[in-house]
Structure 1
Amino acid sequence: MTLETIERETGADPGAAIIVMHGLGADGSDFVPICDEIDLSAAGAVRYVFPHAPVRPVTINGGYPMRAWFDVLSFERGQNEDEAGLRESQAAIAELVEHEIARGVPASRIVLMGFSQGCAMTLMTGLRFGQRLAGLVGLSGYLPLADRLAAERSDANADVPVFLAHGTADPVIPFARGELSRDALAALGYPVEWHAYSMVHTVTLNEIRDIERFLQRVLAA
């Protein structure tokens, strides 16, 4: 599966890349305005890559086709996860990382970032990727296939910095599920930077500023 993408570059010859995965039913354009608010000038030129998830039927929405990284069979934690869809999208996102490496951006200067389903794909892909990445940013999502991670995780990313954020009033993916994901990663030794915000299933300006500081740190030239 080859993903269509939108690209934005903050300058010529980018030496870093941020691949941003959108949430269920959105598309790659969803996070372009948010990334425009992030100042990474100190890190040099950055290429943002915004892939579009494939269109597929989504069970919780009555089988209606929409852009989705994987099918959602239930909102209950760990219930009937779409492993085939998760692994298909993992492979496609890993291809995007490999493409950036082929374009001259070292893996150590590549960040994966995602919201909701995109957060799940950020963790699914980044923690299993075979070369050390700069960092992972997971927003209002969760850790998929959590019981498989210990066996499948990459040694190269065993200490990759992870930024996790969640809204305390999130009605879509409960705050407690975000906390469980944080705790599962911490138990495996990942350095997790955790942020809780008084918000629903969205992104706030304070969160953007915290993401900016995290990216400035992990992409420091």
Structure 2
Amino acid sequence: MIMYTHEKQFIQAGKLAAHAKKAVVLLHGRGSTAQGILSLQRHLQLEGALLLAPQATNNSWYPYSFLAPVDTNQPALGSALALVEEVVAETVKLGIQSENLYFLGFSQGACLTLEYVARHAKRYGGIVAFTGGLIGKSLTQSNYQGDFAGTPVLLTSGDNDPHVPLHRIEESVVILRDLGAAVTTEIYPGKPHSISADETLLANELVFS
């Protein structure tokens, strides 16, 4: 049984739910906020989309590095995944089909994004992970199931990011492709741990256009 450590709280922005044809779930990084990740809407082509940004309790989705053994990040990680599932359920209630559902996350939020979608692979509108990878000391293929059916997935990062090593991004790409995702990666030399204008342009071109 999942022990819930995150309160169910999220911000809605963008198109009014009753009129939205698509939805985007945005997951903030450690120490940040739902409001902070929503500020990306100024740089992304999200017209006509309902935006849903959950807020992590104490501004962190799980306590330790995403490279720590999964058990050490419980129960917070299970609770965070359950909260994302609740947000997705809200879009289902609104009649938004999964192929019109998009995900975007940065850093810890990017890791959570990838972990959620890989555990629930299906045809989504698209997935953007700015500096993140799948979660765990090692990756267990049996945790991930479904078929992305060609869903476009973008992973970006710096070549020497202090929190997300390239080898984990590469391992994540293999699993995502095995699940049928159309994955694009872009690794930037010397990029700091932040989201650049080039990354948002690429997300618009490959995922949100």
TM-score class, shorter: 0.7 to 0.9
Displacement of 1:93 = 0.3
Tell me the number of residue pairs that the alignment of Structure 1 and Structure 2 aligns.
200
> Per the alignment, in what secondary structure is the counterpart of residue 147 of structure 1?
coil
**Following the alignment from structure 1 to structure 2, what is the Cα–Cα distance between the partners of residues 131 and 186?**
12
Pick from 129, 132, 136 the counterpart of residue 138 of structure 1. 129
Instruction: Return 204-213 or 131-140, whichever deviates more.
Output: 131-140
Identity of aligned residues (%): 24
**TM-score of the aligned structures, taking structure 1 as reference length:** 0.79
Q: Which consecutive residues of structure 2, in runs of 5 or more, have no partner in the other structure?
A: none
**Following the alignment from structure 2 to structure 1, what is the Cα–Cα distance between the partners of residues 31 and 68?**
21
Structure-2 residue corresponding to 1:111: 102
**Judging changes above 3 Å, is the alpha-carbon distance between structure 1 residues 69 and 125 closer, same or farther for their aligned structure 2 residues?**
same
**Following the alignment from structure 1 to structure 2, what is the Cα–Cα distance between the partners of residues 71 and 154?**
26
**Amino acid of the structure 2 residue aligned with 1:135:** G
Structure-1 residue corresponding to 2:22: 16
> Per the alignment, in what secondary structure is the counterpart of residue 70 of structure 1?
coil
**TM-score of the aligned structures, taking structure 2 as reference length:** 0.83
2:111 is the counterpart of 1:120? yes
**Following the alignment from structure 2 to structure 1, what is the Cα–Cα distance between the partners of residues 99 and 178?**
24
**Conservation of the 8 A alpha-carbon contact between 1:40 and 1:215:** no
**Conservation of the 8 A alpha-carbon contact between 1:167 and 1:197:** yes
2:208 is the counterpart of 1:216? yes
**Conservation of the 8 A alpha-carbon contact between 2:146 and 2:179:** no
The runs of at least 4 aligned residues of structure 1 exceeding 6 Å deviation read none
> Per the alignment, in what secondary structure is the counterpart of residue 143 of structure 1?
coil
CA RMSD, aligned part only?
A: 2.4
Q: How does 1:1-221 map to 2 (within 5 A)?
A: 1=4, 2-10=7-15, 13-41=19-47, 45-55=48-58, 67-72=59-64, 74=65, 77-79=67-69, 81-129=72-120, 132-145=123-136, 147-148=139-140, 150-157=141-148, 159-186=150-177, 189-198=180-189, 199-217=191-209
**Judging changes above 3 Å, is the alpha-carbon distance between structure 1 residues 123 and 14 closer, same or farther for their aligned structure 2 residues?**
same
